Structure 1
């Protein structure tokens, strides 16, 4: 056990889960209440032939989940914010959604969070921040960290993704590489590459607004339990959500024109 610990390399980037380490070609992560559901999903994706997610290895002697390590880079880089990268992400998300077909859409066992009012269609990742997308040679190749996955609609998971990658956010809160991009054009590019139905394009901004309202409440509730959720809330997460919603209200017409 000592030899194993000496070779543990801490992995940084996520906001919620501490204690994630790399050991050789595997990743060890603290287990949570959603771990059994996540492992069942990852095994389903493997059986479906979806290559863009880690594989389940098992559990270690410390009660941590063991997943395969996906080589590549995460986070925002010049190549990861290109139009080609955004289109590639849309295709990867579509392939992931399609691969969840046939997986049970029951709500039990998942972490939970804000959601669409429509009946679930797929298991959404629901947390595709730049830290949770693995890139190689400027193209997204895998999705990681499925802790917040849950049954939802395709459009809701698309909205959660575009929140970070368009991004649907007040410029003051955007990372420098995303600050001056044409958000409307990026919304359309993603929808075109994914193949979002015109009916859903007309609903996208309304659902984004609904998500802002509900995610604010969900995050505030989680923050009350302490831990990293409380740190995120204390760091201004709630205010960023409010500013994003206000920015969307001001720019809705021009964004809508790109979508339809």
Structure 2
């Protein structure tokens, strides 16, 4: 198929991603075979929160189901009830991949090294990748899927979904953080560690953008220009309020 009928997707999507009818076509990378395996696993176990893999097209692009719906609310604007739902959705995903064993030699697109390898993670569970669809929440853009940890993934998801940043009242942000974590059902023993990890995870994003921009790599150079200072101030803010986050999560 040529470019006729291809509609570029707006927003912060990977360059070259287009919609063709009821499908999405993505350029492949060294990690695409590993991502294909993850998506096949999720379909086999009945997890409906990811697009179905439909194979490759004549240009060797990854072909995925197009999921109708709307991208989630901007960070910090989700209603309280949805924050609980998102936490529960993330827990469902982690249960779905708990038994997944990647093939030996699988290549992953690890843009940010996690704290440890525990289970397969999406690594960008954020409003710009979460679709409200007729079948419920659906995560898109799986290119950075790779082994990671529950706390590493939950820290990033909770921070972006709840809107934990210096521009919002910290007490209210702490309440919203607790809604995501309660929805997830995180064990009490892990909650203080999550509170401490919030700033570390945000700073890892800052480091990725800073270093990628220094090397002239896209999309990191563009995002660094747009959001680099946001991630630095957010990481500082999260570190400064660890006690507040801890109290909210262990009340």
Partner Cα separation in structure 2 for residue 107 and residue 195 of structure 1: 33
Return closer, same or farther for 1:185/1:206 CA change in 2, 3 Å cut-off. Answer: same
Counterpart CA distance in 2 for 1:14 and 1:188 is 28
Give per-residue Cα distances to partners, 1:32-84, cap 9 Å, x unaligned. 22211111100010111101101111111222110011111114269x71111
Look up the SS of the partner of 2:110 in the other structure. coil
**Which whole-Å CA distance do the structure 2 matches of 1:107 and 1:159 have between them?**
28
- TM-score of the superposed pair, with normalisation by structure 2: 0.89
- Where 1:6 maps in the other structure, the secondary structure is coil
Query: Which aligned pairs between 1:97-176 and structure 2 lie closer than 5 A?
Result: 97-104=94-101, 108-118=106-116, 120-136=117-133, 140-171=136-167
**Structure 2 residue aligned with 1:240:** 230
Distance 1:107 1:218 in 2: 25
Tell me how far 1:107 sits from its aligned partner: 8.5
Q: Deviations over 1:91-132 (max 9, x none)?
A: 1111111111222267851111334434x2221111112121
Q: 1:221 Cα deviation (Å)?
A: 2.8
SS of the residue corresponding to residue 151 of structure 1 reads strand
- Distance between the aligned counterparts of 2:218 and 2:208, measured in 1? 15
Cα distance in 1 for residues equivalent to 2:169 and 2:54? 42
Distance 2:241 2:211 in 1: 29
Structure 2: gaps spanning 5 or more residues: none
- For the pair 1:95 / 2:92, whether they are aligned, the reply is yes
Of 125-134 and 97-106, more deviation after overlay is shown by: 97-106
Shift of 1:166: 1.3
Q: Any conservation in 2 of the 1:128–1:143 contact (CA below 8 Å)? A: yes
For residue 7 of structure 2, the aligned residue among 6, 9, 13 is: 9
Which residue is equivalent to 2:48? 51
Q: Which structure 1 segments of 5+ residues have no match? A: 172-178
Q: In the aligned structure 2, how far is the partner of 1:247 from the partner of 1:154?
A: 22
Q: Counterpart of 1:164 in 2: which secondary structure? A: helix
For residues 184 and 228 of structure 1, the distance between their equivalents in structure 2, rounded to whole angstroms, comes to: 31
**Would you say 1:84 and 2:108 are equivalent positions?**
no
User: Deviations along 1:3-35, whole A, 9 cap, x unmatched?
Assistant: xx32212211225x1121111111011112221
2:200 to 210, 221, 233: 210
Aligned length: 247
- 1:198 to 2:178 alignment: no
In the alignment, which residue of structure 2 is the partner of 1:174?
none
Give the 3-state SS of the residue equivalent to 2:24 in structure 1: strand
Q: TM-score, normalised by structure 1?
A: 0.86
CA root-mean-square deviation: 2.4
